Chains A and B, each alone.
Chain A
Amino acid sequence: MKKKGFVDLFFVFLLLYLFLPILATMFYAFATNWNKTVLPEGLTFKWIATLFQDSRFIEAFGRSVLLSGGAVLLALLFIVPAIFVIVLYFPKYEKWIQAAVVMVYAFPGVILAVGLIRAYAHIGVPMIAAVLGAYVISILPYIYQGTRNSLRNVNARQLLDAAELSGASKAQAFSKVLLPAVYPGLFAGALLSFSVLFGEFVLINLVVGSRFETVQIYLMKKLSTSGHIASSVVFVYLVLMGILTFIISMLTKRSKGAQKV
């Protein structure tokens, strides 16, 4: 009994330690003034409204969405079909993808940034394109795991065989049977990739520079000018990530339903 009480207390302290800074940041985004009191002196939507009236934030948000979304879209268009073909028809080549996945984790962001600048800065490739390419590669682990697990969960090869023997062409089997069966897993992988890229700071800052403002760079600049606005940026970011996480968990539940088949 005594032991259980200690564990509960430890757990409460751990939760406080983890969530207090986040809660405080969120409160600060809505606080009129919070300098000398334990709790905010009042609540206001002023900072959030100011943030959304700032065209620089809207532009930075748009750039982050475009850059992250674009990288995810490119990965879906080029990497996913390659993973489909390799997993379903040439599984012996999977080891090469796995090696590439490990390499993504092996390169620290700073080294990658220096490498990108040295490789592309002098041959006329726009640095933003180089970063976009690096983003596409950096989400390979999420896209690969999501796609491969979905294909395995639904026993994809057998689904294709069953569809073809029911009279479907290869294209029909792919579009009418396989894609709808694996899309929750694929979509979850894409959203996860998007949320990871949306929070990326190192590459974009080092390779393109802070003049190309994304949400993270905007946040860094605001940290030194207005704590309330910076907290509002974090709040918006957390809400967005919360929505993405909710969608991913819903989709994952759906994939698990399909897994029982």
Chain B
Amino acid sequence: MSYVVIEGLHKTYGTNAVLANIDMTIEEGEFVTLLGPSGCGKSTILRIIAGLTDPTSGVVKIEGKNMSNIQPKNREVGMVFQSYALFPNMTVKENVAFGLKMKKMNESEIEQKVKDALAIVHLSDKEHAFPHELSGGQQQRVALARALIVRPKVLLLDEPLSALDAQIRKKLQADLRSIQTELGMTMVLVTHDQEEAMAVSDKIFVMNKGIIAQEGTPTEIYTKPESEFVANFIGHYNVFTREELEQMIGKKLSGEREKFAIRPEAIHLKASEGDYRFKGTAKEAMMSGNVIRTVFQVGDRSFAVEQLHERQASLVLGNAYECYVSQEDVVALL
């Protein structure tokens, strides 16, 4: 049986349904991400798992135990918040030690565990600082140490990196993943950043309007989106109707699906055997570091191609090019 099981979860506020029939399973030691746009219900699931919000109906089980009537403090679930939620009147050390003090652990043991927890998050030299004396990244590390120290069965991370700048966010993503692997802890991350989800997760649940749009490993989600929403949300896919794509490639497509998606980086300028071929005129290009995204025009339809940023520009704007895409990279959508 799975470590965390969510069955038939519904949540409504008045007549507004926030979650509709959510089923979810999470294995022990797994790093799972709930990914979706703002307002899709992902944080509500987290709060329901923590016991901070009651579901309208449905069940949450952790290690086979129904959590329905169990108070948050007794669920053995930790949580890290986007706004850190550090106790402003306590030092870093006191913040981290809080959970152990509530468990009435003896002082020497608390001292040692706090030292270990602060070492894990690289903040050993800040134990006497107050939260307002720390940077955002440091505050979030303290919040992480405070949640980890009580060794929760499940650690919930509610957009913990959203308020941080890009560089610190990348560093903390890597730290988060390595801490999770080292401790073998089950973690559930909520984010709207698909790159972050891809970087840290074993499994991703993509959510939209209160339902799970797709679940799978990062590779499955990225390479085989099942719907137009997932294709657009996860990877800036080019989405075509059957008619548009058949017109472009000059061939009939098999199957009965009406929409198809192609990853921008799957379109290339060198032919391989069996590739679909189509022509387009390079109209505009956008450089984002290591990738150049070029928009091509075919009739009244446009599509994007992404290439690695190489020293010699390979495309000249205004020129027409033969583009190729492998048949496997044309994903039929539901």
Residues of A in contact with B (beta carbons under 8 Å apart): 154-155, 158-159, 161-169, 172, 177, 180-181, 257-261
Contact = CB atoms under 8 A, between A and B. Distances in A.
B194 interface: no
A163 B131 CA distance: 15
B83 A158 contact: yes
Given A161-B72, A167-B103, A168-B102, 8 more contacts: A161-B79, A162-B79, A162-B85, A165-B77, A166-B98, A166-B147, A257-B130, A261-B84
Contacts of B50: 161, 165
A180 B88 CA distance: 9
Interface in B101-157: 102-103, 130-132, 139, 143, 146-147, 150
Contacts of A168: 73, 98, 102
Contacts of B147: 165-166
A205 B63 CA distance: 70
A163 B79 contact: no
B303 interface: no
B102 A155 contact: no
Contacts of B210: none
A161 B82 CA distance: 13
Contact of B102 (A159, A167, A257, A259): A167
A158 B130 contact: no
B132 A166 contact: no
B78 A165 contact: yes
B287 interface: no
B52 interface: yes
Contact of B79 (A165, A181, A259): A165
A162 B150 CA distance: 13
B86 interface: yes
4 A-B pairs closest in CB distance: A167-B102, A258-B88, A166-B99, A260-B132
B146 A166 contact: yes
11 contacts: A154-B88, A155-B83, A161-B50, A161-B85, A165-B77, A165-B79, A168-B73, A177-B89, A257-B132, A261-B88, A261-B132
A162 B84 CA distance: 9
Contact of B139 (A155, A161, A261): A261
A163 B98 contact: yes
Contacts, number: 76
B81 A158 contact: yes
Nearest to A183: B89
Contact of B150 (A159, A164, A166, A260): A166
B87 interface: yes
Contacts of B132: 257-261
Nearest to A153: B88
Contacts of B84: 261
A260 B78 CA distance: 23
A173 to B, nearest CB: 9
B59 to A, nearest CB: 20
Contacts of A258: 88-89, 132
A167 B75 CA distance: 9
Nearest to B82: A158
A163 B102 CA distance: 9
Contacts of B73: 164-169
B110 to A, nearest CB: 13
Contact of A159 (B75, B77, B87, B130): B87
A260 B136 CA distance: 10
B79 A261 contact: no
B150 A167 contact: yes
B85 A158 contact: yes
Contacts of B86: 162, 261
Nearest to A177: B87
A168 B101 CA distance: 9
A184 to B, nearest CB: 9
Given A258-B132, A261-B131, A261-B139, A166 B102 contact: yes
A177 B98 CA distance: 10
A174 to B, nearest CB: 13
A58 to B, nearest CB: 38
A161 B146 CA distance: 13
Contacts of B87: 159, 162-163, 177, 181
Contacts of B98: 163, 166, 168, 177
Nearest to A173: B73
Chain A CB within 10 Å — which of B52, B75, B143 has the most? B52
